[in-house]
């Protein structure tokens, strides 16, 4: 059953009904201004995995590599090869880890569907990459708390996602069309994440978001 009023899964503030698009209902937080899918309309675990396998996951596809290149270039600019990294939500085709491996990096992979290795979450890393992952979080508060705990001092969380634009025509916004995209972050949500989880700063460059300690 759909709920017209519910708490935001990131900042726990009240939300209001925002829009219906493609038969799915969305809510908007009154505080961090993010938009999220009604939980009653989320896919099942199995249906999500089927949907993920339909993505273009060929790590040798140049278009796929170009798409994620901002996060790869940001890691190379900030960290050297001997430092440790985690590809969180690596997916069936961990293209970021692959591209960084070509540059001498060795990332640990974690993904609840395709690289479900719990021991990967028992250590800390100098940097974490989340490429097209944060928009899939059912409980973004818990996920960012976990990611923050996995970072070493002076670490960075690199996220690649579409930030929710204030002026967007939501009905025609392509990013919400993927059924597995359930949470869209407003810039105010990024500020909340910085303050709530003790990051020193956040930098946004297009689709690339860097949370730094």
CATH number at residue 122: 3.40.50.150
Asked if 202 contacts 209 with a C-beta cutoff of 8 angstroms, the reply is yes
Looking at residue 122, what is its pLDDT?
96
The pLDDT-based confidence of 48 (bands split at 50, 70, 90) is confident
47 vs 202 pLDDT, higher one? 202
Q: Does any domain span residue 1?
A: no
Q: Does any domain span residue 55?
A: yes
Average pLDDT on 50-70 reads 79
Q: What are phi and psi of 209, to 5 degrees?
A: -120, 125
Q: Does any domain span residue 46?
A: yes
Q: Kindly report the average pLDDT of the chain as a whole number.
A: 93
Q: Is the pLDDT score of 138 beyond 70?
A: yes
The pLDDT-based confidence of 54 (bands split at 50, 70, 90) is low
47 vs 39 pLDDT, higher one? 39
Q: Does any domain span residue 171?
A: yes
Looking at residue 4, what is its pLDDT?
64
Burial tier of 95 (Cβ tally within 10 Å: 0-12, 13-18, 19+): buried
Say how many C-beta atoms besides its own lie within 10 A of residue 168's C-beta. 14
For the segment 152-169, what is each residue's pLDDT rounded down to a tens digit?
A: 999 999 999 999 998 899
Pair of tokens at residue 157: 């969380």
Which residue is associated with the tokens 């726990």? 12
Asked if 66 contacts 107 with a C-beta cutoff of 8 angstroms, the reply is no
Q: Does any domain span residue 67?
A: yes
Q: Which pTM does this prediction carry? A: 0.93
Least confident of 28-42, 52-66, 145-159: 52-66
Q: Does any domain span residue 30?
A: yes
The pLDDT-based confidence of 211 (bands split at 50, 70, 90) is very high
- If one counts the domains in the chain, the total is 1
Show the domain range for 67: 6-212
Q: Does any domain span residue 15?
A: yes
Looking at residue 2, what is its pLDDT?
56
Looking at residue 51, what is its pLDDT?
73
Average pLDDT on 54-75 reads 84
Q: Does any domain span residue 101?
A: yes
Average pLDDT on 110-133 reads 95
Looking at residue 92, what is its pLDDT?
86
- Whole-Å CA distances, 30 to 21, 127, 129, 166, 192: 20, 32, 29, 13, 13
Q: Is the pLDDT score of 61 beyond 90?
A: no
Looking at residue 55, what is its pLDDT?
64
154 vs 48 pLDDT, higher one? 154
Torsion of CA 54, 57, 41, 5, to 10 degrees: -160
């Amino acid at each position: 059953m759909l709920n017209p009023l519910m708490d935001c899964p990131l900042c726990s503030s009240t939300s209001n009904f925002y829009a219906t698009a493609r038969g799915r209902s969305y809510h908007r937080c009154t505080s961090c201004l993010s938009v999220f899918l009604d939980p009653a309309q989320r896919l099942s675990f199995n249906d999500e995995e089927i949907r993920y396998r339909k993505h273009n996951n060929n790590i040798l596809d140049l278009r796929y590599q170009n798409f994620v290149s901002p996060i790869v270039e940001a890691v190379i600019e900030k960290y050297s090869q001997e430092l440790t990294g985690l590809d969180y939500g690596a997916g069936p085709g961990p293209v970021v880890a692959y591209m960084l491996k070509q540059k001498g990096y060795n990332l640990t992979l974690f993904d609840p569907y395709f690289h479900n290795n719990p021991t990967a979450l028992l250590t800390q890393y100098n940097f974490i990459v989340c490429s097209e992952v944060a928009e899939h979080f059912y409980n973004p508060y818990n996920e960012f708390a976990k990611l923050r705990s996995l970072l070493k001092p002076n670490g960075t969380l690199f996220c690649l996602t579409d930030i929710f634009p204030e002026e967007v025509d939501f009905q025609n916004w392509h990013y919400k069309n993927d059924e597995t995209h359930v949470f869209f972050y407003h810039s105010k949500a990024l500020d909340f994440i910085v303050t709530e989880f003790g990051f020193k700063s956040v930098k946004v460059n297009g689709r690339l978001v860097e949370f730094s300690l």
